[in-house]
Structure 1
Amino acid sequence: MIIVKTGLTRTVYLGAVSYFVLTTISAGEAVAQATLPPVTVEAPQAAKRSAVPRRSTAGTRAVARNRAASLGPGQPAPTAYRVPAASQVNGPPAPFAGGQVAGGTQVGILGNKSIFDTPFSVAGYTKDLVQSIQAKSVSDVLERDPAVTVGSNSSYYDILSIRGFPYNANDVALNGLYGVAPATTYPVELFDRIEVLRGPSQLLYGYPPLGSLGGVVNLVPKHATDDPIAQVTGTYWSNGMGGVAVDVGQRYGKFKEWGIRVNALYRNGTGAVDRFSEEAAAVSVGLDYRGERVRASLDYFHNYLNQPDGQRTTFGLLPGVNVPSGVRNTNNIAQPYEFYTANYDYGVARVEADVLENVTVFGAFGGKTQSATFLQALANTVIDNAGTVSQFEVGGPFKIDTTSAEVGVRSEFDTGPVKHKVVFAAQDVRFDRRSALTFGIALNNIYNPFPSPNPGVSVDAAGPALPLTKVDATSLSIADTLSVLNDRLALTVGARHQRIQQDNYGLNTGILTDTADNSRTSPAVGVAVKPIENVTLYANYIEALTQVTPAPFGTANAGQGFAPVVTQQKEIGVKVNWWGTLGTTIAAYDITSPSVFTNPVNNAYGPLGLQRNRGVEFTVFGEPAKGVRVLAGFSLIDGRLETTLNPTTTGKKAPAVPDYQGSVGVDVDIPGLPGLTVSPLAVFVGDSYYDPQNTQRVPAYVRADLGASYTFANMWSGKPIVVRGRIVNLFGANYLTNVPGAGGGISIGAPRAYMVSTTFNF
């Protein structure tokens, strides 16, 4: 059983974190002032992260204060303090050449690492990319990643899969913590990076609230940079939506140790999809502190979303029904009475303290409160070849409350010629989902949508939200990265012991129906070898866990519990940094994941099947020539149902896993026309199947976009003004997307749409 978290518990958590922050800051400052000798070595700028081992930096932090007292007129101010490269507080790693992709990302408990040093497949997409493509959602950004398949357009949530496995929006991480980000579309304008770890991640991130296993999406908040920023962007989207975004940040203090960053956005109007309108507002405040031995950050977010006319969601097919073809990409089968309204408050605090020159303790705490009221079709099913759609209309309140906490210690030391980077961490994620729903069936048509009477679904009649799912996931993890030969050979080994407690309740009753309390230890190993300085060969073995609910009523083994099932990944790859201007990666992986179903012969329920996804991914990014920036990727995927206990499906292609997918995007600065950039993009996705029998094939598609921007100086201030324009689906292709899992299914593709924006810098 899971202990329900109360307001008192939250208060204790917050008080403990606050006490830890205050005491470590006080202790760190006292130690710095009382014990460190007055050395005169300057620390580098924080943006220029040093790879020098921490133990060789003794005295670096004492420089600024000892020199500050003796500064004479005209002498330069001391620069920022050096911080560990793995720090998750002092800003993300610098962008790679071209500015679209980060040079490093968070890798869970390992902290920030260079993308060329980690033995895992990772990518970090920057705020510059988000702004240049005028993205509104995570899907707009991640459709450029070859491992990610993107689903529904113009919905209230991002539908994703990673390496062919569904990724639940509840499992998106915020600054390294699960369970904190809202389970809908994310206002990407508020974030500095959108990071992706491709493949299972149990050792690195722990257990996500709803058990997504194909990878991790991590959102990195914006913090103040050394240079002040003041920016306003106005945007227009077809066919009648306008918006404004504000980004303001600055650092304060003699050594710029205090920072504040505020972002806000508002948009309202109608979109390119028929009968789609949206009002969205969001604000974020990021505070951070960079001291000699202590670093801390606090990020708060509030989102509001109102879609008064419903939204496009996915649809399914009855067996024997053909996949619809020629569906207009502006069609919307949402009924006129559908709507979605939600408020989200969420945040995360992090603190790091260097208790010794080679030892850093860290802690983080985050939480989320999500409250929504909605009436929509949670399931749309095409029931005949004429396109008739049966719509399972659902309405009522929906609430999610989560807390997430992490504490740990990192240390660096040598044993003879071997360098060690050791991390030990403890984590706790608590997830509480509640709802109260009323139901009804409506009819529509995928080709010719029409209004259907409300089948008696009433939000008011649903009553207060009752418990639905509670999860408490606690874990202990340890990892050591051993390196020799000046880090040319590095081995990462580790394990996480995970306990998962889950309670499930009857819908609209709040009565406990089943409970699970299981634990498992998951090992992982990764190796990175640099035969030459700019080439990294890597391999890894890592797992993911999924908690299986007890066998349901009506099965032969009703009530039987199961230990978490294990998804296993084996991966090898090559990463090359070409002259610091172009990066390429290639990865080959093999992932096996148990499938849960009821045996048709003996009616026994459990993890009886196995899906195996094997693939090859290639990415290229950077600025290979001056004024030419490229971001492209391609993947081949073979997803198979290896074991199903059904001869009609065993060995068939896994549903919703395309044969291939990828994108090619190029930004070209036009010679002879300073400030003008043209940005074409092609997105292509191969065939996939909706059903496990492989009779309902969703065809391949290619979509072309075209963007352009012009940058010029403000005649009064000299600051840059940037005008951007973009056309999505330039040729108006009608296509369908297909994504697996809960919330997934077939979606109508994006219609032709255009957007224009102007960014003013002050």
Structure 2
Amino acid sequence: MVASVPHDRVRRPEATACAAAAILAGFSLACGPAAAQQATSQVQLDEIVVEGAGGKGVAPAYAGGQVATGARLGVLGDTDTGKAPFSVTSYTEQFVRDRQARTASEALALDPSVRATQGTNAPFDSLYIRGFPFNEGTSGEFAFDGVYGVAPSFRVFSDYAERIEVLKGPSAAMTGVAPNGGIGGVVNVVPKRAGGDLTRYTVNYGSNARFGGQLDLARRFGANREWGVRFVTSLNDGRTAVDHQKEQAGVGALALDYQGERFRAWAYGVVQTDRFNAPSRPFFMAAGVPVPKAPDGRRNVTQPWEYSDVDDRGGLLRMEYDLTDRVTVFGSAGGSHTGVERYFASAPTVTSAFGTTSTAPQFYGLGVDRQTYEGGIRAKFETGFIRHAVTLQLSRYVEETSREFAAARGSYVSNLYNPVGVPAIAPLRIGSRPRLSDSTLTGLSAADVLSALDDRILLTVGLRRQTIKAHNYLSNVGTFASAYDKSATTPFAGLVVKPWEHVSFYGNYVEGLSRGDIAPATATNAGEILAPYVAKQIEAGVKLDVNGFGGSLAAFQITRPVGELSPARRFSESGEQRVRGLEFTTFGQVTPQLRLLGGATLLDGELTRAAAAANIGHTPIGVPRVQLNLGAEWDLPWIKGLTLNAAVIHTGKQFVDAANTQSLPDWTRLDLGLRYATDIAGRKTTFRANVVNATDAKYWAGAASFGTFTLGAPRTYLVSMSMDL
């Protein structure tokens, strides 16, 4: 028998027996020595497996509790990180709560391969992973339980995340084409589900006057605890640390599951709303103007009457059935809807070195409907001394968008250092939301993990045949403009060799795929559709795991084609971006009281081909030479339950134009925190206090691929109290 209880509860012999009694009694609340004696007289437990509230299917936490021991690798399924021929990190719910990270983007702040290109006070999360953009443009690139088309499009809140996983490098062969063509990596949100019983209430505060609360409930039912339910809801509202900015955000998430002997099923539903007044926006530099010194992060040129309202809802149903002990069939179906109504400028333009800005707000209404389906079979068998784990999978992703995008009615002038308030400018409205595009991505994939010598050698091979079909319509009109129907096959291969128990050497070759661009109206071949872009990665590395402390060192090279307009105004796949990198990560316990998490990434980005010959050899936009992250936690020996944490984040110089004439200087940020865990009236209670950007450094945080850049976060105070009832 297997019993699951929250991993962070205090365990006593009588409590363990009481838990067993509760299971047998079908949630009887009677506990104590008598119940323990009754339980031990009724049943002999062969094994007790202690898990978090995430339940079966979630990899257990590594020593220190900040990262997990495994992650989902697309068609390969859940894989132990030490046996994975790829670089992957899975951040735990415990780590996310201790940092008080509200979004998936904030939760990845200590990953040395990841950088945010939007601020924490913007209504949109976009990232760079290994020097390539993620979730830019039309968004929707966060995966949810391994599939696209379910997670919220613009911001993924951490309330419903049990794990936040980062698979680094192109991965279309394993996960399918990302909806927006990202190839630097995949961010997968593993949703919370019921493991043990849990009732947790959290209240929080963030500067300047932002208050919130969260309720997290988990229960298991049935004679064998086969039924589970997990419900999470939260609300946050108030003024943020940025001038005249307000945000109201609400989340509701429900997870149901059934765990039978051979049949298993999971159902998830997520509803999310995010409303900003005066949302922070990235900036664009006028040509020939040097990037000015970064202002105080509190400064906000966006007006109080500019706003962003985003509503998301999504759901996913997963099922699997064991035909035999070695053969399992599986399938899933899900979808989501995103509704957007906003009125602001996409990117105010900085027009002088003195910080003068010009802003032209536009009304933008967007509707996105997505559906996702997949099905397949997994089988295990042997051929001689070689074991096989084979997966065949068919997937389909459908997306339809409609949009209202009106012209600006007017503009206003402000300043980075001394923002000015201006009277409201009434927006122009079209009054309808015509169809903008629709696309269908279908894929057929096959993979085989071959292992020998007690998993000392593992060879992973596979490929995916992907077809991309799309229709584009005239903006604000809805009449047909162009069509796209292209296919490509992308392979992947990986090798892991474990000469010693605690050391793994690995290497991989993997390809990523994104739809080719359509030649713009200004091109001589306007409307021509380019073939899908194929990105390629070669990687080799070593992973170490010794006595609760782990790390990895990887060297990689990624190349990606780029569509460009030539001087003769012909649009073609004439450009290429290459990023070479050396990536070091570390995690786990140095001692039982000291934990480390972080690492460093050295990047060498280069435009190896370009339509403008003068740009060949230049550094791509937004790719720094160095990214350094180091976080530490120390359990203070003088006061039981008191933990001090600190994190240093450093990013090197970045260019915001392909000509490399405009750049952002390097920057360093210090985050500090204090956590105190205790019991109040027998209830586990944790107090947390964090300071983001404790030194109040002024810096430009990052540049996006299309040349915009964002202001770094100001000093921000976060305080919370959580209690397990």
TM above 0.5, one fold? yes
Measured after TM superposition, the shift of residue 558 of structure 1 is 2.6
1:317 equivalent in alignment to 2:285 = yes
Partner of 1:512: 480
| Distance in 2 separating the partners of 1:73 and 1:631 | 41
Measured after TM superposition, the shift of residue 78 of structure 1 is 6.8
Secondary structure at the aligned position of 1:379 is classed as: coil
Secondary structure at the aligned position of 1:74 is classed as: helix
Deviations along 1:560-609, whole A, 9 cap, x unmatched?
32221100000011111112x11101111100000111111x32111111
1:597–1:626 Cα change, 3 Å:
same
Measured after TM superposition, the shift of residue 627 of structure 1 is 1.4
| Distance in 2 separating the partners of 1:647 and 1:520 | 29
Which of 373, 378, 383 does residue 405 from structure 1 map onto? 373
Which of 403, 412, 415 does residue 445 from structure 1 map onto? 415
1:334 equivalent in alignment to 2:302 = yes
Alignment of 1:477-492 (within 5 A): 477-492=445-460
Alignment of 1:102-117 (within 5 A): 102-117=68-83
In structure 1, stretches of 5+ residues that fail to align are 1-41, 49-63, 66-70, 83-87
Amino acid at match of 2:116: V
CA RMSD of aligned residues (A): 2.2
Alignment of 1:375-524 (within 5 A): 375-440=343-408, 441-443=410-412, 444-458=414-428, 461-524=429-492
Which of 605, 610, 614 does residue 639 from structure 1 map onto? 605
Deviations along 1:320-346, whole A, 9 cap, x unmatched?
111110411111111232111122111
Deviations along 1:675-701, whole A, 9 cap, x unmatched?
110011111111111111111120001
Which of 699, 706, 710 does residue 735 from structure 1 map onto? 699
Whether the 8 Å contact between 2:517 and 2:563 is mirrored in structure 1 is no
Partner of 1:231: 200
Whether the 8 Å contact between 1:342 and 1:371 is mirrored in structure 2 is yes
Amino acid at match of 2:117: G
Which of 47, 59, 68 does residue 93 from structure 1 map onto? 59
Deviations along 1:1-43, whole A, 9 cap, x unmatched?
xxxxxxxxxxxxxxxxxxxxxxxxxxxxxxxxxxxxxxxxx67
Measured after TM superposition, the shift of residue 371 of structure 1 is 1.0
Alignment of 1:223-302 (within 5 A): 223-225=193-195, 227-302=196-271
| Distance in 1 separating the partners of 2:562 and 2:708 | 18
| Distance in 1 separating the partners of 2:517 and 2:55 | 37
Partner of 1:621: 587
Q: Matched residues, percent identical?
A: 35
1:163 equivalent in alignment to 2:127 = no
Amino acid at match of 1:738: G
In structure 2, stretches of 5+ residues that fail to align are 8-22, 25-37
Deviations along 1:434-488, whole A, 9 cap, x unmatched?
1112221423222221234455523xx2312111121100010000011111111
Secondary structure at the aligned position of 1:170 is classed as: coil
Partner of 1:137: 103
Secondary structure at the aligned position of 2:41 is classed as: coil
Measured after TM superposition, the shift of residue 89 of structure 1 is 8.7
Whether the 8 Å contact between 1:241 and 1:269 is mirrored in structure 2 is yes
Amino acid at match of 2:723: F
1:561–1:152 Cα change, 3 Å:
closer
Amino acid at match of 1:235: N
Whether the 8 Å contact between 1:108 and 1:204 is mirrored in structure 2 is yes
Partner of 2:14: none
Secondary structure at the aligned position of 2:59 is classed as: coil
| Distance in 1 separating the partners of 2:40 and 2:281 | 65
Partner of 2:42: 75
| Distance in 2 separating the partners of 1:326 and 1:303 | 33
Partner of 1:702: 668
Amino acid at match of 2:67: V
Partner of 2:654: 688
Which of 341, 365, 379 does residue 373 from structure 1 map onto? 341
| Distance in 2 separating the partners of 1:76 and 1:683 | 52
1:539–1:331 Cα change, 3 Å:
same
- Larger mean CA deviation between 642-651 and 356-365 belongs to 642-651
Measured after TM superposition, the shift of residue 426 of structure 1 is 0.4
| Distance in 1 separating the partners of 2:296 and 2:4 | 53
Measured after TM superposition, the shift of residue 246 of structure 1 is 0.8
Which of 717, 727, 745 does residue 708 from structure 2 map onto? 745
Secondary structure at the aligned position of 2:295 is classed as: coil
Which of 271, 274, 283 does residue 305 from structure 1 map onto? 274
Whether the 8 Å contact between 1:481 and 1:492 is mirrored in structure 2 is yes
TM-score, reference length from structure 2: 0.92
Secondary structure at the aligned position of 2:615 is classed as: coil
Whether the 8 Å contact between 2:6 and 2:197 is mirrored in structure 1 is no
1:578 equivalent in alignment to 2:546 = yes
| Distance in 2 separating the partners of 1:499 and 1:189 | 35
Measured after TM superposition, the shift of residue 356 of structure 1 is 1.2
Measured after TM superposition, the shift of residue 80 of structure 1 is 9.6
| Distance in 1 separating the partners of 2:360 and 2:573 | 28
Secondary structure at the aligned position of 1:375 is classed as: strand
Partner of 2:15: none
- Larger mean CA deviation between 647-656 and 234-243 belongs to 647-656
Secondary structure at the aligned position of 1:116 is classed as: helix
Secondary structure at the aligned position of 2:361 is classed as: strand
1:476–1:363 Cα change, 3 Å:
same
Alignment of 1:147-162 (within 5 A): 147-153=113-119, 154-162=121-129
Measured after TM superposition, the shift of residue 737 of structure 1 is 1.5
Amino acid at match of 1:497: R
Deviations along 1:383-413, whole A, 9 cap, x unmatched?
2223222224221421111011110110000
Whether the 8 Å contact between 1:636 and 1:659 is mirrored in structure 2 is yes
1:181 equivalent in alignment to 2:151 = yes
Whether the 8 Å contact between 2:577 and 2:605 is mirrored in structure 1 is yes
1:89–1:465 Cα change, 3 Å:
farther
| Distance in 1 separating the partners of 2:611 and 2:432 | 42
Amino acid at match of 1:148: V
Secondary structure at the aligned position of 1:462 is classed as: coil
Partner of 1:525: 493
Secondary structure at the aligned position of 2:166 is classed as: strand
How many residue pairs were aligned?
688
